[in-house]
Structure 1
């Protein structure tokens, strides 16, 4: 049995990734920032095959602690950036832990002989920090692909900018060390939707679905999405976990970055689907999933599938 270490394996996406690897017969180690807060991770003990799961407290800025966590791991999934729409101190709350954590991780994993594959869970925000708004200089019918130059909007939400900077750190590492002794692959999901595997109340992804369903705008960013009836690219959280697993277990992908996406709908249509009704407008393909389909064999569920999971909530 191979061992996979999952940083952030108790979060919204991470929980699905943890379950996927357990189902596939792996020994799984999950990191948490504080073992004294079991409400953050206790749901993982209810997953099937949880007897093959251990949960460790890890500070990703502590190289010794991170090295101990990574020891004996064959695969490592880095999914440790919490999704935040706003922050009082972006530098301290988001940028520093994300970017410094990524740089520390790359240093430590390079010193861990057992590691064969690293998967970074990036974000569509690393490609377009203005998401869900379009890149301003592209035509309205532009199909975003992995070949596009990443766009940095200095006014974007802190999460998107943090993902951009972290992704740039990964790209720089890959360019500097083309043969590091292990493979690095990044996956960039669009708007991740679906039902959580936990009852955690601190999931922004879950909270965003609630806000869109009930047309609640607690901050200017969400109000902007309603005001402009923004078109949002959507993907099921279970498909994200599947894409991460396939990226982790397919050889020969070093340096690749895959968009993980299904369809795009306007916010008004998402509200309808989250309430069990049919959309008025047709879906569009705004972010390409062609590379993930071709090289990872992915088949993405229609957007209504994860949205319909919230129709009765």
Structure 2
């Protein structure tokens, strides 16, 4: 039985990744930053084949615990960077755990020869830190794919900046280490939507859907999204998990970075669909998914189906 280690495997996306690997006959090791907080991972114990699940305390900024976690794993999925929009200190809450954690992780896996595959769960922010706004020089209706130039701005949200820098760290590592014994593949989802597998109330992705569904604006940024009826490129959380599983179990994808996306809708139409009403406009494919379809064999579900089922 192959073993996969999933850093962040109890989060919104991570829980679906854990579920997918368990259903496909893997032994699964999931990290948690605090083993005493059973509320963060107890929902995983209800999954099928949870007898093949192990919960392990780990901090990506602690190299010793990181080494202990990745040891004996055939595949490592790294999705343990914080997704925080409302923060107090960007350096300690976003930049340090995202960038330093990535650097530590790369150092540790280079010392772990038994690993066969590493998949990074990055973000569309690794391609465009302005998301959901267009990259510099593009409009809301201009398409974007993996052939476009990456765009970053220091005016973007610190979360997006941290993810962009972390992605650059990974790309630099790949270029400088040409004789790795394992493959590294990255996936970069746009706005991830869907039901949460847990009852946690601290999920940013789930919380954002709740705010849009109920037209609640707790801060100026969210209010601006409503006022300007901003468009979002979206993707289903289960599709993200499937793409990660395929990236992890398919050989020959070293150095690839796949955008995971379906349609783009304005926030007013997202509100309608989250309330099981038909959107007023037809969704457009702005962030393209052709590469993921071709090389990962993905078939993405319409985001309308995802939002109707929220």
- Common topology (TM > 0.5): yes
Which residue does 2:251 correspond to in 1? 251
Q: 1:140 to 1:40 in 2, by over 3 A?
A: closer
1:79-98 equivalences in 2 (<5 Å):
79-98=79-98
1:146 Cα deviation from its structure 2 partner: 1.3
Asked if 1:307 corresponds to 2:304, the answer is no
Number of aligned residue pairs:
310
- In structure 1, runs of 5+ residues without a counterpart are none
Q: Give TM-score, length-normalised by structure 2.
A: 0.98
- Tell me how far apart the structure 2 counterparts of residues 63 and 199 of structure 1 sit (CA, whole Å): 31
Q: Please tell me the root mean square deviation across aligned C-alpha atoms, in Å.
A: 0.9
Which residue does 2:125 correspond to in 1? 125
1:140-289 equivalences in 2 (<5 Å):
140-289=140-289
Which residue does 2:59 correspond to in 1? 59
- Tell me how far apart the structure 1 counterparts of residues 245 and 179 of structure 2 sit (CA, whole Å): 22
- Tell me how far apart the structure 2 counterparts of residues 82 and 200 of structure 1 sit (CA, whole Å): 15
Q: Give TM-score, length-normalised by structure 1.
A: 0.97
- Tell me how far apart the structure 2 counterparts of residues 178 and 199 of structure 1 sit (CA, whole Å): 43
Deviates more, 1:5-14 or 1:132-141: 132-141
Secondary structure at the residue paired with 2:30?
Answer: strand
- Tell me how far apart the structure 1 counterparts of residues 223 and 156 of structure 2 sit (CA, whole Å): 15
Q: 1:192 to 1:155 in 2, by over 3 A?
A: same
- Tell me how far apart the structure 2 counterparts of residues 54 and 149 of structure 1 sit (CA, whole Å): 40
1:178 Cα deviation from its structure 2 partner: 2.5
Determine if contact 1:85/1:221 at 8 Å carries over to the other structure. Answer: no
- Tell me how far apart the structure 2 counterparts of residues 179 and 222 of structure 1 sit (CA, whole Å): 46
Over 3 Å off, 4+ runs = none
- In structure 2, runs of 5+ residues without a counterpart are none
Determine if contact 1:87/1:158 at 8 Å carries over to the other structure. Answer: no
Asked if 1:30 corresponds to 2:30, the answer is yes
Which residue does 2:99 correspond to in 1? 99
